[in-house]
Amino acid sequence: MTGTVNVPFVFALPNAAASEPVPVVMFQHGSPGSSEQVWWEAQGTLAGEGFAVVGMTDTLNRVLGQDLDTQNRALFQALLDNWRFPQLFMQTYAEQMSFVRLVEQLGNLDSVPYPSGDGTPDLDLGAPLTYVGLSMGSVLGSGFLAYAPEIKAAAIAVGALRQGEAYFNRGDFIDLFPPDLAALLPNANPTDFWVGLSILQMVFDHQDPHLHSRYIYRSPAVIDGTTQRASLLLQEGLRDTNQRTLMRALAWTIGPLPHLEPVWEDSVILDSTTAPVSANVDPTTTAAFYQFVPAGVPNIPPTPGCAFEPEGHFCPQVADEAKRQRALFLRSAVDEPVPTIVDPLLP
């Protein structure tokens, strides 16, 4: 530790907290984004299921600003100047771990009915703590969950990261990352960029969440005397221009996880299984990978709720069926000894 920093957060409390203490979900937003997205995810489904939702702004968006071009320009400039990537991902993992400690100290919070409360605690800190991460929140979750045995269940959607591969997948990366990357390296040719991005990946490896994710199930480290890790739901949207096949690679690296039917695109590396799924990792842990379909995929009907959403990256974030699958999974983690993952398209 070299110092401390104050990190603001947003807490969304459901009306249910007026009747009895409620369980807590940690929420991690996408990029660009901020903790203000907590209310959006809470209103989507989680508050209706009786969850309090709490989230902070990740280090990348807090330090470099909420603009992708600005972020990438700063990251590349730091790499060119210092021959290393800023430790923003490592810092976020540490802040997420500290955030768990914070939630554990909120037992006396009493704000519902707002603003003066009713004299009883709003939060049930004896209930399991859970996690939802969307896009970059999913990316960060795949690293953080390797070191957070306090989390009983986590639903992460449309976010996996191998830094170099993510840049390769975006097409004309010379122009896109950042727009003036060619100006930063005016004498570079295409071969230089390909080789350079491979070296970038090696520089980034030690904080790459994809590499940390193997310590969730595949090679769990002993933390506080346990190798227990969160039950896990991974949600992918087909034709995700930000991810391509990265979510499937993440599902394999973590476990591998089974591919919950229906299988709309065969991942080759994942075995399929049928719903519902429970206790398939060990007697108390459940995990599965599930695909949603945006509009416009040839010969495959879109998932209800995505009929007018052609981008696979957003389909699982906005579809009611995807939100329902996440909420039911987390609710089962609170209400039952072992969480259950269902097919949201079935009754």
Backbone angles phi, psi at 28, to 5 degrees: -120, 125
Question: Residue 215 has what DSSP assignment?
Answer: G
Query: Angle at Cα 232 formed by Cα 286 and Cα 224, nearest 5°?
Result: 90
pTM of the model: 0.94
Contact 219, 235 (CB under 8 A): no
What does DSSP say about strands 9-12 and 52-56: parallel, antiparallel, or unpaired?
A: antiparallel
> In terms of C-beta distances under 8 Å and separation of at least 24 residues, what long-range contacts does 317-322 make, across chains too?
317/30, 317/134, 317/135, 317/157, 317/158, 319/292, 320/45, 321/292, 321/345, 322/157, 322/235, 322/292
Q: In the predicted model, what is the mean pLDDT of residues 241-268? A: 92
Alpha helix ranges (H) inside 83-135: 88-103
pLDDT interval class at 176 (50, 70, 90): very low
Q: In the predicted model, what is the mean pLDDT of residues 285-313? A: 96
pLDDT interval class at 180 (50, 70, 90): low
Q: What is the DSSP string of 39-85?
A: HHHIIIIITTTT-EEEEE--HHHHHH-S-HHHHHHHHHHHHHHHSS-
Q: How far apart are the first and last CA of the chain?
A: 50
Give residue-wise pLDDT tens across range 39-85.
999 998 999 999 999 999 999 999 999 988 788 888 888 888 888 88
Token reading at 257: 């996880």
Mean pLDDT, all residues of the chain: 91
Q: In the predicted model, what is the mean pLDDT of residues 271-277? A: 97
Strand stretches in the chain, DSSP E: 9-12, 24-28, 52-56, 129-134, 151-157, 231-237, 259-260, 272-273, 277-278, 287-292, 340-341
Token reading at 74: 């700063």
Q: What percent of the chain has pLDDT over 70?
A: 95
Helices (H) and strands (E) in the chain, counts: 13, 11
pLDDT interval class at 189 (50, 70, 90): confident
